[in-house]
A and B are shown apart, each in its own frame.
Chain A
Amino acid sequence: MSTPVFIAGAGVISAIGNNIAENLAALENGAAGMGEMQYLHSVHRHKLPVAEVKMSNAELAELAGMPAHISRTALLSAIAAKEALQHAAIENFSKLRTGFISANTVGGMDKTEDFFVDFSGDPGKGRLRNIIHHECGAATELVADILGVKNYISTISTACSSSANAIFFGARLIRQNMLDVVIAGGTDALTKFTLNGFNTLMIVDHHYCQPFDENRRGLNLGEGAGYTVLVSEQVAASLKNDPVCVLSGYCNANDAYHQTASSPDGTGSYLAMKGALQQSGLQSGQIDYINLHGTGTQNNDIAEGTAIKMLFEGHYPPMSSTKSFTGHTLGASGGIEAVFSTLAIQHGLIYPNLRLETPMKALPFIPETHFKKGAAIRHVLSNSFGFGGNCSSLIFSKA
């Protein structure tokens, strides 16, 4: 890679905490965020555990400094994006060329599905305020306006790989000297739409999910937001704090196998990881930790595992799925896991893969089950794979 792109800050909100400190504490204590539904009103309340952010919309709105009637997707986004920007502490932010590139999968669906209850009975009914922010781009704009970002605003939606793509599109705009700072990542709130959608596919676990376990039963849906602050070399040099790390490699590939299922040999996952390694100029043996996509579905984990086997044969780095803590946060997952990856480098951490009982027989490696501190972590690979065969991998490296 020619010009490096630095990560100057990060922000996160998920089922295991409302900020970086709370998320880190939960990761260290092995405290998973799943539980019985409290905030989403669904008939599946007592059947399907979910990983909710532990705040009502009113509480989130207060924290975000936004009205409580807007989509939870935007509220979560604002909280994490503000933390990221604060963390980066860029003094002359308003004078720089700034961008906000956020990802999500269903936009303001949490409000739209309420609207549809009235609208279905009578097309003249339903409060329009509830669909005014339906589009995916609406949440991004609400947050960009609060952050004071104006030069470039965009939204990406490639299912579960969305925010990984937002991060590397942002990096490219910096590298091409179009922007100085980009806040990039993603957000998604739990909705009945997605919960029922995944449930019809019969890939939602009725218990707490067990990624990469031989007896895994599916995923738990989660919600949250995660952002990184990407900066140019010049901005990085002007910061008071040292940058957290650099984005050293990334690749987007397509599995081109099926609309929702991964190919058995994980072609897309393999191509994404291999491409990211190639771009970073690293050998697979130099990766110190893999933050797995690891949803806990039969299909994803064997495809991802098979691809890792092909690429890392002989020297498997420690790896884990932090979805065992946060659930699968869909459009936010790549952003949240990018934040966890940068924190792993910053603090020398390896996160545990919770509830692993029986390692997968088809794979020659076992995910890490203990929290480790003080590890020498120089390079972290983060995987995000989604519907539509969209596979993206990011590599973060010590600056």
Chain B
Amino acid sequence: MFIQATAGISPQPSFSALLTEPAVYAGNRLNCIEPDYGQIIDPKMIRRMSRIIKMGVAAAMDCLKTSATEMPGAIITGTAYGCLADTEVFLSKMVENREELLTPTAFIQSTHNTVGAQIALLLKCHNYNNTFVHRGFSFESALLDAITLLQEQHALTVLVGGIDELTDTSFRLLSRFGLYKKDISSNRALYDGAAKGTIAGEGAAFFLLSAEPSGKDYAQLNGLYTFYKPGDIAEIEKNIQSFLSAHGIGVNDVDLVITGQNGNVNEDGIYKQLAQTTFKGKACARFKHLCGEYPTAASFALWLAANIIKTGVVPSCTSVSSDNKRPGRILIYNHYQNTHHALYLLSVC
């Protein structure tokens, strides 16, 4: 598969900003830097859209524009939490008003497929349209749907994206679950120390995929593999090895490994062990200090990897260990709460 284009809205301004001046955050919460939506979406439609819809639709439109594609053959989204703000508005009013005097707008926009539906509506796109909502596998499911659709030639191009929003309420609730570090000076200090918790994030990243090269692709997506609740580190290592050998390569053929370290001592142990075994001596990068942790954060990593392959530059703010080589092949390994594990393999076209 070929990544013809990618576009993202994240707590970082752009890929080029990562090379010069990545955004720095104090505290344990990273929110997206939102663009001027008026330039991207019809102002008449913006008025009714909640933040996640605007972020998703804008990233999708930007991606289509970059690839000069007017009508994708399919639109597929992945979101773990869906439209939280709209859900909360309707839910709170329902509770406060004791199920009386409610208006439908928030309910209508609360369904998980709203972003995909709004993209279709904006484009008048009658093609295949699907939405996956499986926790830390939401984006990977959407991507697998896209890949298999292209393999069966049901579409020539697929617009696929991962989107999750962080609201005041979701941040408060997830904090009550103990997900986030309480005392952190800045996102740059995410990996320091050995404390529990991570930092909260959000984002929207879209990709235009095709089975055939377009001549202007960002990167080739060679493979995707997910595994659920592995028993131990040996099973994880085995999965990584067999994923690579299924693509006819070994770890030595990988130029850069991007891992999903999130600063949580309980979750980063896996990456630390792998750094001593499977990934020993490899150039490594990480990304969650830039976008925060959220169930579809791997879509940010894929956006990052595609940009690294296209430009040949690894932003120093992501680099853990470097060999100063232009990466021709990147492996992304991310796990979400040690339940949802995902591997992505990308290469130059």
Which A residues have a C-beta under 8 Å from some C-beta of B?
Answer: 42-44, 105, 107, 112-113, 116-117, 120, 123-124, 128, 131-132, 135-138, 140-141, 144, 150-159, 165, 169, 172-173, 175-176, 178, 192-193, 196-197, 199-201, 252-260, 267-268, 271, 386-390
Contact = CB atoms under 8 A, between A and B. Distances in A.
B123 interface: yes
B126 A268 contact: yes
Contact of A158 (B121, B129, B148): B129
Contacts of B90: 193, 196-197
Contacts of A257: 121
B216 interface: no
Given A136-B134, A157-B111, A172-B149, 16 more contacts: A113-B91, A120-B96, A135-B135, A152-B228, A156-B133, A158-B116, A172-B148, A200-B107, A254-B128, A256-B125, A259-B108, A259-B117, A260-B108, A387-B117, A389-B120, A390-B117
A218 B120 CA distance: 26
A254 B80 contact: no
B100 A158 contact: no
Contact of A169 (B91, B103, B145, B229): B145
Interface of B: 75, 80-82, 87, 90-92, 94-96, 98-100, 102-104, 107-114, 116-118, 120-121, 123-135, 137-138, 141, 144-145, 148-149, 151-152, 169, 172-173, 176-177, 226, 228-229, 339
Contacts of B75: 254
Given A153-B134, A153-B137, A156-B132, A388 B94 contact: no
Contacts of A199: 102
B102 A200 contact: yes
A138 B135 contact: yes
A131 B120 CA distance: 31
Contact of B128 (A136, A157, A252): A252
A150 B228 contact: yes
B238 to A, nearest CB: 14
Contacts of B149: 172
Nearest to A44: B99
Contacts, number: 176
A172 B127 CA distance: 17
A120 B95 contact: yes
Contacts of B116: 158, 388
Contact of B113 (A113, A144, A159, A258): A159
B111 A105 contact: yes
B111 A113 contact: no
A172 B339 CA distance: 24
Contacts of B95: 113, 116-117, 120
A254 B117 contact: yes
By Cβ-Cβ distance, the 8 closest A-B pairs, closest first, are: A388-B117, A197-B107, A137-B134, A137-B135, A157-B112, A200-B104, A136-B133, A155-B134
B135 A169 contact: no
A136 B92 contact: no
14 contacts: A116-B95, A135-B133, A136-B133, A137-B134, A137-B137, A152-B228, A157-B132, A173-B148, A176-B152, A254-B127, A255-B126, A258-B121, A268-B126, A390-B113
Contacts of B127: 253-254
A358 B145 CA distance: 43
Given A259-B117, A260-B108, A387-B117, A254 B125 contact: yes
A198 B96 CA distance: 18
Instruction: Tell me which of A156, A173, A386 has the highest count of chain B C-beta atoms within 10 A of its own C-beta.
Output: A156
A137 B126 contact: no
B95 to A, nearest CB: 5
Contacts of A271: 126
Contact of A196 (B80, B99, B138): B99
Contact of A157 (B129, B131, B145, B229): B131
A123 B170 CA distance: 11
Nearest to B145: A169
Given A150-B229, A387-B108, A176 B121 contact: no
Given A157-B82, A201-B108, A43 B121 contact: no
Contact of A128 (B113, B117, B129, B176): B176
Nearest to B178: A128
Contacts of B118: 259
A258 B120 CA distance: 10
B82 A388 contact: no
B141 A154 contact: yes
B126 A155 contact: no
Given A136-B82, A388-B113, A388-B117, A201 B104 contact: yes
A107 B91 CA distance: 14
Contacts of A390: 113, 117, 129-130
Contacts of A197: 90, 104, 107-108, 110
Nearest to B99: A43
Nearest to B125: A256
